[in-house]
Amino acid sequence: MRERDAYANLVLPSLLRERRLAARDAAFATELAYGACRSLGLLDAVIADCAGRAVADIDGPLLDVLRLGVYQLLRTRVGAHAAVDTSVDLVRAEFGSGKAGFVNAVLRRAGERTAGEWVDRLAPRDPVGHLAFEYAHPTWIAQAFADALGAHADELRALLAADDERPAVHLVARPGDITAEELALVTGGEEGRWSPYAVYLDGGDPGKLEPVREGMAAVQDEGSQLVALTLTRAPLLGPDAGRWLDLCAGPGGKAALLGALADIDGGRVDAVEPAEHRADLVRKATAGLPVSVYVTDGRDSGLAPGYDRILVDAPCTGLGALRRRPEARWRRTPADVRELTVLQRELLGAAWDLLRPGGVIVYATCSPHLPETVAVVGDLVRRTGAEQLDTRDLLPGVTALGDGPSAQLWPHRHGTDAMFMAALRKPE
């Protein structure tokens, strides 16, 4: 992953298939890879302290081994002797005794303290910085979470702890094909708490499940399901002609759920995606549904105005889904935010121009970061006079969504990605 600058969830499955590992070995390899990626900041701080040099000065392959070794020592139940010996043996076989001695010395020093003792030794003294280090997050992201929590910033520890764990697999039952109850029975899963189409899985490869292979179900976080449902539930002024738009459709999960719901009532969904390879993913996800895919820039789509409902699931920093792409937290920087917020405002403005009077937009991001959420919505409201609906009313039964009128999901409260959503209606 380091050499290819790729995401673990995209690279690791193919590597495991190539190596043909047994299920138990594959699960262990997955835990080590995801865990080391997730804990990178803490691991590198410990390695630098033990090595007496910056991690940038350590050869890449040795650093990979050290990260995996320190992760085993501090964050798994693997015995210290086994973690050190397997790491040293690997380096000796690949690079010789000299470098094996260096790895041995670093890992033995790392194993002299517990994870908690390393946190006490190396973490910043300020409260947010300390929590960020303890739960393996950059400080700027932890501060962004604290700002979004607002008056509930005392939940930051619980949020970071939930964000530091591997998430459960969520399935979506395609409306009209299978119910969540039926899907849970077939898969051995559990019906979701919030979405009527969600099923939780304990583990395993969802791609091997018959309903998933046959297109009756798909992998989709329950929070993403709620975003699509919010769009369908928002009250319009005037009748719903069934003309819906997903303006940022790739890779197609929400478009598929919207298409299935539209199909039941005789509606249609247009889906916009500027990248051809992602547009192809949308086509595959929505096969057999009344969904038309347009490969174009949502800011200048060329589509005819007059849509009843528009979803703007805008490109964002993805800070709300760090559990699923654990290394993303170390790749994102505050500098990413400015460019993205410009894009988000442009997409939302373009959607407003395509919306009919009395129609509704749901603006959503997989990030709770305030510049990407309430600031973008507030800008549109000021410029257009958009009516903000109370989004919480569109999520019946879902608790602790914030102070409104927007809604914010959280991993520690809802078990979902940290999805933000705001419903906006165009005055007649």
Q: Can you count the helices (H) and strands (E) in the chain? A: 19, 12
Whether residues 95 and 158 share a domain: the answer is no
pLDDT at 218 over 60: yes
Q: Give pLDDT tens digits for 63-110.
A: 999 999 999 999 999 999 999 999 999 999 999 999 999 999 999 999
Whether residues 383 and 311 share a domain: the answer is yes
- Measuring CA to CA, which residue among 412, 35, 419 is closest to residue 227? 419
pTM of the complete model: 0.93
| The residue to which tokens 């003309």 are assigned | 243
Domain that residue 209 falls in: 169-219
The Cα–Cα gap between 183 and 191 comes to 8
Whether residues 214 and 230 share a domain: the answer is no
Whether residues 145 and 85 share a domain: the answer is no
Q: Mean of the per-residue pLDDT values for the chain?
A: 94
The total of structural domains in the chain comes to 4
Q: For residue 420, what are its two tokens? A: 């933000």
pLDDT at 423 over 80: yes
Q: Is 254 within any annotated ligand binding site? A: yes
Listed in sequence order, the residues at least 6 apart from 335 whose beta carbon sits closer than 8 Å to its beta carbon are none
Whether residues 19 and 62 share a domain: the answer is yes
Domain membership flag for residue 315: yes
Catalytic residue among 37, 50, 316, 366: 366
Listed in sequence order, the residues at least 6 apart from 103 whose beta carbon sits closer than 8 Å to its beta carbon are 62, 65, 66, 69, 87, 88, 91
Contact 228, 260 (CB under 8 A): no
Contact 340, 315 (CB under 8 A): yes
pLDDT at 120 over 90: yes
Whether residues 298 and 384 share a domain: the answer is yes
Whether residues 187 and 200 share a domain: the answer is yes
Q: Give pLDDT tens digits for 178-216.
A: 999 999 999 999 999 999 999 999 877 898 899 999 999
23 vs 157, residue with greater confidence = 157
* Residue 363 φ then ψ, to 5°: -95, 130
Q: Give pLDDT tens digits for 341-378.
A: 999 999 999 999 999 999 999 999 999 999 999 999 99
Q: Is 249 within any annotated ligand binding site? A: yes
Please name the residue ranges forming H helices in 239-320. 253-264, 276-285
- Say whether 366 is catalytic: yes
Whether residues 101 and 195 share a domain: the answer is no
Q: Is 273 within any annotated ligand binding site? A: yes
State the pLDDT confidence band at 28, using cuts at 50, 70 and 90. Answer: confident
Q: Is 60 within any annotated ligand binding site? A: no
Listed in sequence order, the residues at least 6 apart from 359 whose beta carbon sits closer than 8 Å to its beta carbon are 236, 307, 308, 309, 310, 425, 426
Whether residues 173 and 160 share a domain: the answer is no
Contact 244, 359 (CB under 8 A): no
State the pLDDT confidence band at 31, using cuts at 50, 70 and 90. Answer: confident
